[in-house]
A and B are shown apart, each in its own frame.
Chain A
């Protein structure tokens, strides 16, 4: 049994040192080169003599970030990637909560880090690290000395997701979560070393876990598709063809954009074999477009929140669905326990709605430095009283259809998925309330138009551009409301709460 995810890389770097490992449209590294550069970083990190510490990675998506993840793991520590384009206040909140032991970055971001008041002695710039020349086998043996001390319940990474109080939550994922996930994925998705994995997910979004570790585990090439290509899907398709990408794990919105622009032809994307998607609901109308024009690809719908290591159910699409039908999220992944609990915390009957709860090795250790939030959602299995048996309550409402397939219905709370991003509407409300002259507000999501909409009351209407200018200080661009409505007084329901239902009925 593997104790650390880095064991995946020991095997492939040892077996295929000269095979291409990762490319980002500019450079390529072989598995041997990746391991060698990562070992250099690990040596630097080991100067601090501590292990099992959080290391923040302040880098854009690219080869350097992948080298950093490997180097941090070889040093016996764990990584926390962040979106460097996030507002500084948000990054500060993450850093203050995480208290990273070191920050791995590049000289180009020195000024950013200064603005974030990171102490200089904690920063490691990749350019400054001396390069070693030892052979890969020796480096692997050396790395094992440190990583053999890791156990599989130690953290592998911390991913930050939206938190309703305005401070992102750091989900702590142990090695065993990732090992368990990848060992399910390889046989299920039939992944081998001839695969070329086209990566869309940002590295601070946990969908990237599948891309990275599949590559490391089987020795396949990871192609970090340049960000800008997703803006113009016609260029994205050209790139995927030129790079002969065979496997993609994208958020549905990318596939939907290709469908909306009607860019597929039967002779396009000949190398592509597997189209895997997750992160939000895949509209069946757009999936049908892909199936119609490219019928020979394997289409797989995955489902799962960050807290259970990326995915816990999967559905291999085996038929076409009508636009009004929901695509199932399918069946539990191997070694994932799925419970559907009704309002009485009892197993839901067939067809009855309940909350999807997960048990097993995939569970996060909890939220970093946040025992209250952790206890709220990581709880004792109510069906089992005799020994500690932890479940994660996802907040997602589902039911099982007549074929035992799990169907996603919606959320229990006000969490939404917008362009693949997981957002707590409460986080936006917290940011809005910080704007002077706003007395009350609520934020709702218009599913049909995919618009985050703000309703607020205050002394006077605030121009949309001023609202945006304030919010961009604290929120990422994708969280900023597209529409806003001003009220002298917001409507209230008899319970004294803002009448969200009335607002939805009137404005959506």
Chain B
């Protein structure tokens, strides 16, 4: 997902997110970043993310985050 990567790059241009299997254990994202990303995704895709879904599993890497966004898109535009 190009847009997801853009959002991540906007926050941390110095990290190579596509190379990371696990953003958190690789130290790429902290608690402030997660809130920023949630807000940016909501704005970009015009959906509302349930806080219960903001989990390490969904925010693990580019692939899981892409699937997460796809899932929300399919909910809001069935």
Interface residues of A (CB under 8 A from B): 228, 230-235, 253-254, 257-258, 260-263, 419, 450, 463-465, 468-469, 472, 477-478, 482
A472-B54 Cα distance, complex, nearest whole Å: 28
B13 and A463 within 8 A (CB): yes
Closest to A231 in B: B31
Taking A231-B56, A257-B31, A261-B35 as known contacts, 17 extra A-B pairs with beta carbons closer than 8 A to each other, sorted by chain A number, are A230-B31, A231-B24, A231-B29, A231-B30, A232-B55, A232-B59, A234-B55, A235-B55, A254-B31, A258-B51, A260-B38, A263-B51, A464-B14, A465-B14, A468-B12, A468-B14, A469-B14
**Are A234 and B13 in contact, with the CB atoms below 8 A?**
no
List, sorted by A's number, 17 A–B pairs whose CB atoms are closer than 8 Å: A228-B56, A230-B31, A231-B30, A231-B31, A232-B54, A233-B51, A235-B56, A254-B31, A258-B51, A261-B35, A261-B54, A263-B51, A419-B31, A464-B14, A465-B14, A469-B14, A478-B32
Secondary structure class of chain A's binding surface, majority of residues = helix
Q: Which residue of A lies closest to B12 (CB)?
A: A468
A471 → B minimal CB distance (Å):
10
Contacts of A463 in B (CB 8 A): 13
Task: Indicate whether B5 reaches chain A with its CB closer than 8 angstroms.
Answer: no
**Is residue B34 contacting chain A, with contact meaning CB distance below 8 A?**
yes
Are the CB atoms of B34 and A464 closer together than 8 Å? no
Q: Which residue of B lies closest to A469 (CB)?
A: B14
Classify the interface of chain B: helix, strand, loop or mixed: loop
Complex: A231 Cα to B34 Cα, angstroms:
7
Return A38 CB to nearest CB of chain B, in Å: 31
Chain B residues with CB under 8 Å of A233's CB are 31, 51, 54
Of residues 1 to 32 in B, which have CB atoms within 8 Å of A's CB atoms?
Answer: 11-14, 24, 29-32
A419 and B56 within 8 A (CB)? no
Contact partner of B35 among A234, A257, A464, A469, CB < 8 A?
A: A257
A449: nearest chain-B partner, CB-CB: B36
Residues on the B chain within 8 Å of A469, using CB: 14
- Tell whether B52 is near chain A: CB-to-CB under 8 Å: yes
In the complex with contacts A465-B14, A468-B14, A234-B52 CB distance below 8 A: yes
Cβ contacts under 8 Å, B30 to chain A: 231, 477
Question: What is the size, in residues, of chain B's interface with A at 8 Å between Cβ atoms?
Answer: 19
Most buried by A among B31, B34, B59: B31
Query: B45 → chain A, closest Cβ, in Å?
Result: 17
- Which of A231, A234, A419 makes the CB contact (< 8 A) with B51? A234
Q: A233-B51, A263-B51, A263-B52 are in contact. Are A228 and B24 (CB under 8 A)?
A: yes
A253 touches B32 (CB 8 A): yes
How far, in whole Å, are A62 and B15 apart by their CA atoms in the complex? 29
B13, A232: Cβ atoms closer than 8 Å: no
- Residue of B12, B51, B59 contacting most chain A CB atoms (<10 Å): B51
Task: Please provide the 7 A-B residue pairs with the shortest distance between their CB atoms, ordered closest to farther.
Answer: A261-B51, A465-B14, A465-B13, A263-B51, A468-B14, A231-B31, A464-B13
Residue of B at shortest CB range from A234?
B52
For A261, give its contact among B13, B24, B38, B59 (CB under 8 Å). B38
Map CB proximity to A onto B44-70 as digits: 1 under 8 Å, 0 otherwise: 000000111011100100000000000
Q: Is B34 a contact of A232 with CB atoms below 8 Å? A: yes
Q: How far is the CB of B37 from chain A (nearest CB, A)?
A: 11
| CB within 8 Å for A260 and B13 given contacts A231-B30, A477-B30 | no
Chain B residues with Cβ below 8 Å from A419 are 31-32
Task: Please name the residue on chain B nearest to A258 by beta carbon.
Answer: B51
Which residues of B have CB within 8 Å of A254? 31
Query: Which residues of B sit under 8 angstroms from A465, Cβ to Cβ?
Result: 13-14
Closest chain B CB from A447 CB (angstroms): 15
Q: Is the CB of B54 within 8 A of A234?
A: yes
Q: Nearest residue in A to B58 (C-beta to C-beta)?
A: A232
B14 touches A260 (CB 8 A): no
Neighbouring A residues of B55 by C-beta, 8 Å: 232, 234-235
With CB as the reference atom, state the residue of chain B lying closest to A468.
B14
> Cα distance A458–B30 when bound, in Å?
31
Residues of A within 8 A of B11 (CB): 482
CA distance A263 to B38 in the complex (A): 14
Instruction: Report Cα–Cα, A469/B31, bound state, in Å.
Output: 21
Chain A: minimal CB distance from B26 (Å): 12
Which B residues touch A482, using CB under 8 A?
11
- Least Cβ distance of B42 to chain A in Å? 11
Bound CA–CA A107/B6 (angstroms): 40
Residue from B29, B52, B54 whose CB has the most chain A CB atoms within 10 Å? B54
Q: Which residues of B contact A478 (CB under 8 A)?
A: 32
Which residues of chain B have C-beta atoms less than 8 A from A464's C-beta? 13-14
Chain B, residue nearest A230 (CB): B31
Q: How far is the CB of B20 from chain A (nearest CB, A)?
A: 15
CB of A464 to closest CB in B, whole Å: 5
